[in-house]
């Protein structure tokens, strides 16, 4: 029997960390939630992140994934916004 909800850890960097005011969140989500669901929840709470919606890469448990990846209990999700820099 599948659980009704799952708990995951979200690691935040750069603009996501600034907007949320923390480097890490624990979220409870409905079973079957995707990485895109997490992204959309953060954007709903912090609309200033909308500009990064289609530019952010995602990782789950140290593997790059697509936004439609279904999450499992205990997954660690990482949001990786684009970075610039150089010499």
- The pLDDT of residue 83: 74
83: its two tokens: 């970075």
Low-confidence ranges of the chain (pLDDT < 70): 1-2, 84-87
- The pLDDT of residue 84: 64
- Domain topology for 5-76: Ubiquitin-like (UB roll) (3.10.20)
- The pLDDT of residue 43: 96
Give the 3-state secondary structure percentages of the chain, helix then strand then coil, rounded to 5: 30, 30, 40
- The pLDDT of residue 24: 97
**Greatest CA separation for the chain:** 54
């Amino acid at each position: 029997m599948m659980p009704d909800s799952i708990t995951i850890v979200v690691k935040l960097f750069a603009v996501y960390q600034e907007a949320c005011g923390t480097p890490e969140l624990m979220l409870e989500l409905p079973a079957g939630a995707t990485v895109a669901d997490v992204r959309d929840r953060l954007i709903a709470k912090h609309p200033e992140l909308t500009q990064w919606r289609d530019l952010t890469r995602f990782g789950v448990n140290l593997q790059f994934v697509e936004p439609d990846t279904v999450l499992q209990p205990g997954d660690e999700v990482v949001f990786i916004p684009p970075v610039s820099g150089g010499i």
